[in-house]
Structure 1
Amino acid sequence: MILNAKQRQAIAKLKKLRVGALFMEPGTGKTLTAIKIIESSDTDFCLFIVPFQSKGNFERELKKWSFRIDYQIVGVESLSNSDKLYLDLLLKITKYQHPFVVVDESLKIKNKDAKRTQRVIEIGKQAYYRLIMNGTPVSKNIVDLWTQMQFLSPKILGMSENQFKDTFIEYVKINSHGKTQEIIKKYWNMKYLYSLIDPYVFDAKLKINVSMQEINVDYEIADTTKYYQLKEQMLHSIGFMNDIQFLAYTQQMQQSYSTDSNKLKAVSALVNKLEEPTILFCKFVNTQAVLERKFPNCKVLTYGKGALGLNLQKYKNMIFVDKTWDYAQLEQAKRRIYRIGQDSNVKYYELTGNVGLEKLMNRSISNKSTMLNLFKEASNKKEFINEF
């Protein structure tokens, strides 16, 4: 096998350490890089913690590169669902002298209060070596970094989450109906933050000799009745709504026009124009079923499952039928075709409907902002609410 320059640089830097982060964009070959880092150590067992849906693909990658160290692959979601699995892993890892724990798609452990995050960190404490891998270190804001660094070692940042926020974030706390919400205004001390994590991080951008073109396609939703009904319900509740409740409302609003007749016509026009195999990305299971029925020659994927672990370089075009709030998820989806091994220019077509939610989601991706904070900030502007 021939390693590229970025892979060699990453291995040279991180093989000297017992903890490290591979923030390598999808398509840059981070799995092979991780394998070489692991093989350069004296580990006698490696535990790979990966998204459940990518276990099979990860297993194939290990076999492809003839990985011969004793290992086990577990789905990160399974750690929160199975007490037995968690306890078995804690016991198993203590039986080895130099166990190595690798967390792939480490943004899955960004929430410090989630059971799976707490369990991954506890397992990591028993490991001699620890490595995290992700295409980007953050998906919404820099707080995503805190738990990832805690897994590697609390000594890297040397501060609690609250201290982290006070050091690097300017925010205001708003009390509403007995609940406290934190609104991020801006970040500061970024050079200091980078100086803390830089010794343990390798960050690689994908550079290949093909171009990437992003094209927006506007369309007019045929029936917005349900959308505006849900919008009115949400606006009456926004003052005391948390992120989960907000997401539930916007999911319903988005789903109300996910298979709109005009939207499907826009997809059909694009598919016919491209005249070659195309990937359609959507958000909802029922939308996936409709698209698969109407466009049998296209590959239809959902963000949750299709955005991870697939190598689809034979495709050159991708249509985003539904939008997503999650910046990291969108980037993962794009890198299914824009990656090492792609030999043609690629094009992304993003459908945008004529409702305010679509504009808000575009802004969220552009700003990498939290959904609810962005909405509350925007809700102070009357003209934006009228558009929404």
Structure 2
Amino acid sequence: MKQTIALSVDQKRAIAKLKLLRVGALFMEPGTGKTRTALELIKSSVADYVLFMVPYRTKKNLLDEINKWGGLDQPYEIAGIQSISASDRLYTHLINRLRSAKKPFMVVDEGLLIKNDGAIRTERIIKLGKLCYYRLILNGTPISKNILDLWAQMEFLSPKILNMPLEVFKNKFLEYSVSTSPTSTREKIIATHNVEYLYSLIEPYVFEAKLKLDINNNEHDASYYIVDKESYNNTKHSLLSSIFGMNGIEFLAVTQKMQQSYSLDPGHIEKLQYLLKKINGKTIIFVKYIRTQAELTARFPQCLVLTYGKGSLGLNLQEYTNIIFYDKTWDYAQIEQAKRRIFRYGQKHNVNYYMMTGDVGLEQLINNNVKRKNHLLDVFKKASDKEKLELVNEL
């Protein structure tokens, strides 16, 4: 059924600016309605075919959004961004489909997924874009780590925007330190330059919007005690004997095993039961493990239990007013995406987030990493032998 919610001020401003262009970027924070804005831009165009490139797990969500806002008159196709590098057949099909259209429109959702200039995915998306009359990027933010993220995104929209190859871009806007070893040479960005000039180049093609709502979002700490720590402690002690022979992936796998050992601990579940009796309104529970999701769904059918991977992207869940972060994730972006499933346009009530923290060192270590927006894997890779021992002791 078509929704009749009026466009927000930001959505109207975005449409007014970008409908005059054939290329553009909607850098709109989660919850500000960038998908609907994109659909209105498509409807205002003379496109005769639309290709949506989205993260694979959000394909159904996009289809629901298209139907929610009245569908499209043009034929369209939704393809997974990750699939473009894995499937030559899909890539060839999309090339042929775009070539058969007179004025195709290509939309890339989550534009940061095309930031790596060396990836097959990036190369193919840029080549597909060259076959399109209209090109649009949708993203919550133009930059994830540094301004280098912008180059491939602008290259997709049009090489004329920056009008410089990647190496020239790097020399003009970035300063590096170089470290060498017998096996590799690494560049680390230490400073950025001429940022105002860079912004002046992209500004005509970009619309930015931050989420502004007349409601509150409140965060609450919810500590709990783990009843059975035997498996956790055994795994921790085994780390001491093998820490120096581990690579980062192996270390991360061990910490995942430690965290999973208390995911369904009686003390963890008891605290969840207490929270659900205390809070009012519909509640989402975010978990990390499929087994945990199944168990909590069976125990608490009144709640929506989601995993971070699937539930933190693409869903609009404004009828819910509470989120309980049951299992921790080291990924700051996943947490922010999850929060914006309920704190977004259309939400009419105050929302509450409950951050559950167990009484083991790993929980606090994850908290600290999230605050610093660090990946636990990166922390381990950069640590000296002494720091690795200290890391195990923190666990």
Matched, 1:132 2:137: yes
Ranges in structure 1 where 5+ consecutive residues have no aligned partner? none
Matched, 1:236 2:241: no
Letter in 1 for 2:23: V
Letter in 2 for 1:25: E
Q: Which residue of 2 aligns with 1:116?
A: 121
Q: Using the TM superposition, name which of 154-163 and 39-48 deviates more.
A: 154-163
Describe how 1:194-209 pairs up with structure 2 within 5 A: 194-209=199-214
Structure 2 CA distance for aligned equivalents of residues 185 and 263 of structure 1: 42
CA deviation after TM superposition for structure 1 residue 369, in Å:
4.4
Letter in 1 for 2:394: E
CA contact 1:138–1:328 (8 Å) conserved in 2: no
Structure 1 CA distance for aligned equivalents of residues 225 and 168 of structure 2: 47
CA contact 2:235–2:254 (8 Å) conserved in 1: no
CA RMSD of aligned residues (A): 3.0
Identify if the C-alpha distance between structure 1 residues 233 and 355 changes in structure 2 by more than 3 Å, giving closer, same or farther. Answer: farther
Matched, 1:99 2:107: no
CA deviation after TM superposition for structure 1 residue 255, in Å:
3.0
Task: Report Cα offsets for 1:309-329 as digits up to 9, x if no partner.
Answer: 222111110011223333332
Identify if the C-alpha distance between structure 1 residues 310 and 226 changes in structure 2 by more than 3 Å, giving closer, same or farther. Answer: farther
CA deviation after TM superposition for structure 1 residue 355, in Å:
4.5
Matched, 1:318 2:326: no
Structure 2 CA distance for aligned equivalents of residues 220 and 155 of structure 1: 58
Structure 1 CA distance for aligned equivalents of residues 164 and 360 of structure 2: 43
Structure 1 CA distance for aligned equivalents of residues 372 and 310 of structure 2: 24
Identify if the C-alpha distance between structure 1 residues 347 and 199 changes in structure 2 by more than 3 Å, giving closer, same or farther. Answer: same
Task: Report Cα offsets for 1:48-80 as digits up to 9, x if no partner.
Answer: 112222222212222232321221112223323
Describe how 1:1-388 pairs up with structure 2 within 5 A: 1=4, 2-66=6-70, 67-161=72-166, 164-165=169-170, 167-175=172-180, 178-183=183-188, 185=190, 187-221=192-226, 222-223=228-229, 224-229=232-237, 231-232=239-240, 235-237=243-245, 241=247, 247-369=252-374, 371-375=376-380, 382=387, 385=391, 386-388=393-395
Q: Secondary structure at the match of 2:306?
A: strand
Bigger Rg over Cα: 2
Identify if the C-alpha distance between structure 1 residues 110 and 289 changes in structure 2 by more than 3 Å, giving closer, same or farther. Answer: farther
CA deviation after TM superposition for structure 1 residue 281, in Å:
0.7
CA contact 1:135–1:332 (8 Å) conserved in 2: no
Structure 1 CA distance for aligned equivalents of residues 316 and 234 of structure 2: 38
Q: Secondary structure at the match of 2:82?
A: helix
CA deviation after TM superposition for structure 1 residue 16, in Å:
2.0
Structure 2 CA distance for aligned equivalents of residues 169 and 361 of structure 1: 31
CA contact 2:365–2:394 (8 Å) conserved in 1: no
Identify if the C-alpha distance between structure 1 residues 111 and 291 changes in structure 2 by more than 3 Å, giving closer, same or farther. Answer: farther
Task: Report Cα offsets for 1:111-161 as digits up to 9, x if no partner.
Answer: 344433332222112112111112223344444333323322334344555
Q: Using the TM superposition, name which of 320-329 and 128-137 deviates more.
A: 320-329
Identify if the C-alpha distance between structure 1 residues 6 and 120 changes in structure 2 by more than 3 Å, giving closer, same or farther. Answer: same
CA contact 1:23–1:136 (8 Å) conserved in 2: yes
Letter in 1 for 2:262: Y
Structure 2 CA distance for aligned equivalents of residues 231 and 158 of structure 1: 51
CA deviation after TM superposition for structure 1 residue 345, in Å:
0.3
Structure 1 CA distance for aligned equivalents of residues 390 and 168 of structure 2: 35
CA contact 1:22–1:133 (8 Å) conserved in 2: yes
Structure 2 CA distance for aligned equivalents of residues 159 and 360 of structure 1: 42
Letter in 2 for 1:43: A
Structure 2 CA distance for aligned equivalents of residues 149 and 170 of structure 1: 20
Q: Using the TM superposition, name which of 157-166 and 278-287 deviates more.
A: 157-166
Letter in 2 for 1:34: A
Identify if the C-alpha distance between structure 1 residues 161 and 233 changes in structure 2 by more than 3 Å, giving closer, same or farther. Answer: farther
Ranges in structure 2 where 5+ consecutive residues have no aligned partner? none
Structure 2 CA distance for aligned equivalents of residues 333 and 50 of structure 1: 18
Q: Using the TM superposition, name which of 137-146 and 62-71 deviates more.
A: 137-146
Q: Secondary structure at the match of 2:313?
A: coil
Structure 2 CA distance for aligned equivalents of residues 41 and 255 of structure 1: 50
Q: Using the TM superposition, name which of 59-68 and 218-227 deviates more.
A: 218-227
Q: Secondary structure at the match of 1:94?
A: helix
Letter in 2 for 1:32: R
Q: Using the TM superposition, name which of 181-190 and 290-299 deviates more.
A: 181-190
Structure 1 CA distance for aligned equivalents of residues 384 and 193 of structure 2: 25
CA contact 2:330–2:374 (8 Å) conserved in 1: no
What TM-score results when the alignment is normalised by the length of structure 1? 0.86
CA contact 1:277–1:315 (8 Å) conserved in 2: yes
Q: Using the TM superposition, name which of 376-385 and 208-217 deviates more.
A: 376-385
